[in-house]
Structure formats: structure tokens, C-alpha cells
Amino acid sequence: MSEQEIKVPDLGGADEVEIIEIAVSAGDTVEEEDPILTVESDKASVDLPSPMAGKITKITVSVGDSVKEGDVVGLIDADGAAADETSDDDTPDEPSEDASEDTTEDKADDKPAKPAASTAGGSRTETVTVPDLDGAEDVPVLEINVKEGDDVAEDDPLVTVESDKATFEIPSPFAGKVGKLLVKEGDKLSAGDKLLEMTVSGGESDGEEKEASAKASEASAESSPESAPKPQKKASGGSRKETVKVPNMDGAEGVPVLEINVSAGDEVAEEDPLVTVESDKATFEIPSPYAGKVDKVLVSEGDKLSEGDNLLEMTVAGDGEAADKGADEAPAAEENKPSRAEGEQASPAAESVSDEPKTSGKVHAGPAVRKLARELGVDMARIRGSGPKSRILKDDVQAYVKGELQKTQEGSAPAAAGGAGIPGVKLPDFSQFGDIERESMSRIQVATANNMQRNWLNVPHVTQHDAADITDMEAFRKSLKAEGEKRGVKMTPLAFLLKASAHALLELPQFNVSLDMERREVIRKRYIHIGIAVDTPNGLMVPVIRDVDKKGLWELAEEASEMAAKARDKKLKPNEMQGGCFSITSLGGIGGTAFTPIVSTPEVAILGVSRASMQPVWDGGAFQPRLMMPLSLSYDHRAVNGADAARFTTLLGQVLGDVRRLLL
């Protein structure tokens, strides 16, 4: 008996893999090729087989360890002959010509011989067969990567198959032209089955043919899951192919396409709009990251997009170096994306995570991914896979769970479902009272309803009412009319309200916080961004003006006007409605004397402004007519005390009553 080391074999290019399961323990007797342990790379889960038959004497690794090619994972005892044979296999000398011929003959016993090449006119016809699949049988064809008439290079992927443990590609053993496909998607393949016929260019001697055949067999035998070379996009004429993807949309998912602004054949410049989409709060355009020509649009109006989805294919003009770089990077960018048959259009709507489980269709995932999904209680039918042929990866499961948790924490459950244990309202059949008409709520209406209910249920609201004397402020504002016309900016009361609120937030920083109730922490903000509520035909929008404390009145008036116009035109971007510390909502242009605005959590206060009116105010000797503006400050009573709220509205009144205080 002799003791041999069990080493990690070639991992198909992976640097390190994680051990997710150990199939044997010390004392177990195994046969050659029996699985020792299961590892998982970024792309697949595979079993590492025993290099010989014998008894396991020691396992030197644990579940969760990371290993690489050549690492020792255990020891095994085998008889002398088997050990010698294994040793020869582990450290092979340079094979002699006789050994090469013997090897070829041995392989011929295991695989069907290829038909003799018919040499005519400098070319021959070859029938490509399925190589060894590591013992797997009846492996289904997921995708056929070539079609009849295609020119392929040696090692280009021909078909993609999926075993019980991994998805991988079968490479071409020759360079030539595809003649006839002998399989179709869904067929089940085993080693030796015929894949396709192809015409191989160039006449070769018997020795050259044998050498080429041996090389092809070696390449096929050594190919492991996910290690087959990927086809590269060729750069020619100083241009390259690029697949434009959906950029980050500030967390928005499943955003519908309203309009496609380009079509195949169009020339576009960098930053030109490609498509127009609509999130819960805004309509915005996705710009082109390159200048070039649109080859193929991969989405349709109505499709729903998320970050990373394919948008369109385009040819990007550039110098040779840039083209070479693009060709080298393209396979990495597309490594986990399935290729599509010509003429097939990618539909993000079809790929997005559905709200209801799938009722049919196979879920493609490895054993480690399925185990993770079981542990997390995830229905895999709800997950959109990012691997080949929509194969679900571990990252997909984790991203799905993270997204669901985020939805729960943000309170995105429908308002109609009630909240905090409060039962929903059951509606009567209104048609029994008369004619009715139903129409769907817009996305903005749904989002507003959900947010309002979440805020009202989670925040203990209190509203402080007060009034500010803005007689002098209004006189000053009106005196700026001529200057505003020269600047092209209209000075509005909102600019004064923004500046006064920023001043109050600096003086009373307890209003510029957010509460983290899970960690029992107060988050104090060192910036002042203020949201302004804008009434639009599509619903309430709240763009955010940043660094209000650092801007002058003219700058604030101009920015507020621009933001309001973008809100009404549905042109606000998601990041333009995020990051607010405090909000202002004004009904002064409509009417009313007071109201109770709802705090927009995680902010802790919101200022409501009603219509100003002339009122008699006692000056100590007589009543004087003064222009009074009603203020309604709603606040989160967990963060703000009533006395602080009174101080805040009093300070606002002082600053609005005499804007010179802003200079102090």
C-alpha cells in the first residue's frame, strides 16, 4: 500500500473555487472518478473526482475553504501498481511518438471513429462528434451557437449543454464552414453522438491529420465546465461592436419603456437619447454611452427594464487600439449572457422577475445555488437568471432576496393591503347605486398613495401653526422685478422660503436628522438639501434642491423654476428627487388658511405654506394692515419636541419678516 496526495485538478481557468460539500471522510473506500468534494466557481458547481481507487486516509480541507489548482485536499492509499500508474499520470513525461499512437488507439476504443476525410479541392468534410462529457449522459442542448453556412474558428463554441452539475460549451475541433446541423435545441447528447458536418479547408497529410485529431481530442478531453473559449468580437476597419446596457437607475427596477428614440441604421452621438422610460416618480431618457451606428434594438415599447439589461447593439467607430480593446473586453462583458438566434429580440419584460410564480418551465441552476435558495426559502421560479440560457447564479438569488427585503423596508406593499396590522377597507359594489367607470391608477398615483400611507402609519405627526409677517419681504421682492427681467429669472416667495428654512435648519440642527430605529441611532446630516412639492397633471412630484444654504436668492429662484418645469414635463431623473433633508409644500397660489402636511420619512419635518392675506396687526398703538403668511410645520414627534417646533416657526417668522437677518 502507498499513500498519495489528492490534488485539485485543472479548474478551467478559475483562480480559486469554494468548497461547498465534502462527499467522503477518512476511512472511506472509493473508486477512480468517484466524487471527493464539490466546489463552486463564479459560474458553476462541479465535483472533483478521485484520481484513483483506494482508501481515503485524510481530508485536509473543510467546507467553505477556497482552493486552487494543485492544492492538496486529502490523502489516499492505493496498491503499488495503481500508485505507480497514478504517479505517471500526475507527472507525465514528454510523450513519445509510439506513446502518442498508443494513446490515439486507446481513445479510439472509447469513442466512435470519425469518418475518413474526403479530400477534394484542398478541403475535406468532417463530422464533429460530442467529446467526453466527464461521464455525463443524455445532456440536454440548451442553445445552438452556430447555423448552417457559418465560418467558425478552431475552439469556437458550437453548442451549449447543461449537465446535472454545470452548463458548458462544446468547442469546434476544426476551423471551417458549418455544413449541416445534426442536432436541435432540447436534444439529449452523450459522448460520441454526431453534432454537425463541416467543411474543413486545406489538405493535410496522414501525419498532420493524426496530429490535428489528437490535438482536438486533447482539447475536448481537457475542456471543463465554463472553460470553453468564448467567441470574440473582431475589430475591423477601426470599429467595434458594443452591446449597450441599461445603466444604474438609482435602484429603480422593472421600469417600462415609453418610447424608443432610435432605430436600426441610425447614427447617434454620445449622450444622444436612446429610449425614454418612466419610473414611479419621473420620466427620463437613457443616453448613448458611445457615438456610432445602431445595429439592432433589443427592446420594445412597453418592455420593463432593470439595471444591466441589454438595450441595443451598435457599431462604435474608433481607432485600432480602441477597437482591439473593445474586442478583448467584449467576451468578459457578455460572459454570463446567453447569445440569441439571429432575428430574435431580447425582451426585458419577459426576463424580469414576475410578481407571480411561474407555473411551468424548467429552472436552470446548479446544486449549490438550489441549496442556497432552499436555505433562504426562495421560490426560484421568481428569479431572473443572469447566466447562460437564464441560468440562475448565486448572485441572482442574493440580489433577489436583497431586493425583496428592500421593498419590505421601504413599505412598498400596496396601500390597499393596509399596514401595521390595520385591516383594509372592503369596498361595496358601487354599481348598485348608479353608473360607474373604473380606470387604472398611474404609477405616480400608486407610489404617492403607498408613500403617504407608510409615512402616516410610521410617523407620530404633530403640526405647529404660526404666521409670518411678509409685508417688507414682499415689497423687497417686487422691487426686484426689473432686475429679474434682465436676468431672465422671476423672483418668487419660494426662494425666500428656501433660504429662511436653510437658516433655521442651521440654527436648529435637530430638524436636520433622520432616525434609524433598528439601530437606535440618530443620523445627523452635514448638508442641507430641501425638497419642493410641485403639483403636476400627473400627480405630486418633489424635486430636491441641493446645498440651499450655500446659494443666493437669484440662484435659488432660477433652480426652483427649472426643477418645477422638469417635474411638470416628467423629465426629472431619480437622483433629482432623492437626498432631501426637509420639504416645503405651498398651497399659497390656490387658497386656504392652514393644513397638516404629511412628513416624508426619513425626513423629520415639512413646512406647509398657505395663501398670505392682509390682516390688522396691533403695533402697540393702533392696528396696522400687514401681509401675513400662514405657516404649518408638521414634524416627527420622535425626533422633534413641541418647544423646538415653536422655536423653528418663530425663527422663520423673524427671518421672513426682516430678510436682513440672513446676513447676520
238-255: average pLDDT: 82
Q: Specify which of 86-90, 111-115, 225-229, 541-545 reaches the highest per-range mean pLDDT.
A: 541-545
pLDDT for position 79: 57
Query: Given a cut of 50, is residue 212 above it in pLDDT?
Result: no
369-379: average pLDDT: 82
pLDDT for position 221: 44
Whether the CB-CB separation of 490 and 557 falls below 8 Å is answered with yes
> Rounded to an integer, what distance in angstroms lies between the CA atom of residue 226 and that of residue 366?
13
More confident site: 384 or 423: 384
pLDDT for position 32: 85
> Rounded to an integer, what distance in angstroms lies between the CA atom of residue 93 and that of residue 361?
50
pLDDT for position 269: 87
**What crossing angle do the helices spanning 206-222 and 97-110 adopt, rounded to 10°?**
60
- Binned at pLDDT 50, 70 and 90, residue 1 comes out as low
Over the Cα atoms of the chain, what is R_g? 35
> Rounded to an integer, what distance in angstroms lies between the CA atom of residue 597 and that of residue 531?
13
Whether the CB-CB separation of 38 and 19 falls below 8 Å is answered with yes
Q: What's the distance, CA 461 to chain centroid?
A: 36
pLDDT for position 220: 45
In tens, the pLDDT along 81-115 reads 344 444 444 444 444 444 344 444 444 344 444 44
- Residue 22, amino acid: I
- Binned at pLDDT 50, 70 and 90, residue 380 comes out as confident
**Which cell goes with 411?**
413599505
In DSSP notation, 131-146 reads ---TT--SEEEEEE--
pLDDT for position 327: 40
Indicate yes or no: pTM above 0.85. no
Whether the CB-CB separation of 601 and 454 falls below 8 Å is answered with yes
366-371: average pLDDT: 72
**What crossing angle do the helices spanning 471-479 and 642-657 adopt, rounded to 10°?**
40
Query: Given a cut of 70, is residue 205 above it in pLDDT?
Result: no
Closest CA relative to residue 489, chosen from 563, 574, 554: 554
Give SS3 for 177. Answer: strand
More confident site: 47 or 7: 7
All residues at 6 or more sequence positions from 29 whose CB lies less than 8 Å from its CB, including other chains: 54, 55, 56
pLDDT for position 118: 42
pLDDT for position 609: 97
> Rounded to an integer, what distance in angstroms lies between the CA atom of residue 11 and that of residue 183?
28
Positive or negative torsion for Cα 566, 569, 571, 572: positive
More confident site: 411 or 205: 411
Looking at 402-416, 542-556, 620-634, which range is the least confident one? 402-416
pLDDT for position 367: 64
Question: Is 461 noted as a catalytic residue in this protein?
Answer: no
Say which of 364, 465, 529, 637 is annotated catalytic.
637
* Virtual torsion, Cα 326, 328, 330, 333, nearest 10 deg: -120
pLDDT for position 554: 96
More confident site: 433 or 320: 433
**What order of strands is seen across the sheet that includes strand 2-7?**
2-7, 72-78, 54-59, 29-30
- Binned at pLDDT 50, 70 and 90, residue 323 comes out as very low
pLDDT for position 628: 96
Whether the CB-CB separation of 162 and 140 falls below 8 Å is answered with yes
> Rounded to an integer, what distance in angstroms lies between the CA atom of residue 658 and that of residue 404?
50
C-alpha distances out from residue 314 to 268, 290, 351, Å? 10, 9, 22
- Binned at pLDDT 50, 70 and 90, residue 547 comes out as very high
In tens, the pLDDT along 278-300 reads 776 667 788 899 899 999 999 99
More confident site: 417 or 174: 174
Whether the CB-CB separation of 212 and 258 falls below 8 Å is answered with no
> Rounded to an integer, what distance in angstroms lies between the CA atom of residue 640 and that of residue 605?
8
Q: List beta partners, residue 469.
A: 628
All residues at 6 or more sequence positions from 98 whose CB lies less than 8 Å from its CB, including other chains: none
626-634: average pLDDT: 97
Whether the CB-CB separation of 571 and 582 falls below 8 Å is answered with no
Query: Given a cut of 70, is residue 229 above it in pLDDT?
Result: no
Instruction: Tell the residue number behind the cell numbers 433622520, with chain if given.
Output: 514
Whether the CB-CB separation of 143 and 339 falls below 8 Å is answered with yes
Dihedral pair phi/psi, residue 289, rounded to 5°: -80, -10
361-387: average pLDDT: 77
**Which cell goes with 52?**
484513483
In tens, the pLDDT along 434-492 reads 999 998 888 788 888 888 999 999 999 999 999 999 999 999 999 999 999 999 999 99
Whether the CB-CB separation of 525 and 514 falls below 8 Å is answered with yes
All residues at 6 or more sequence positions from 417 whose CB lies less than 8 Å from its CB, including other chains: 424
> Rounded to an integer, what distance in angstroms lies between the CA atom of residue 498 and that of residue 481?
19
> Rounded to an integer, what distance in angstroms lies between the CA atom of residue 222 and that of residue 227?
9
- Residue 86, amino acid: T
Dihedral pair phi/psi, residue 73, rounded to 5°: -110, -10
| Backbone region of residue 483 per phi and psi (left: phi > 0; alpha: psi in -120 to 50; beta: other values) | alpha
Looking at 163-172, 198-207, 439-448, which range is the least confident one? 198-207
**Which cell goes with 122?**
484542398
Buried b (16+ CB within 10 A) or exposed e, 244-276: bbbeebeebeebebeebebeeebebeeebebbb
656-664: average pLDDT: 89
Q: What is the mean pLDDT of the chain?
A: 79
pLDDT for position 155: 81
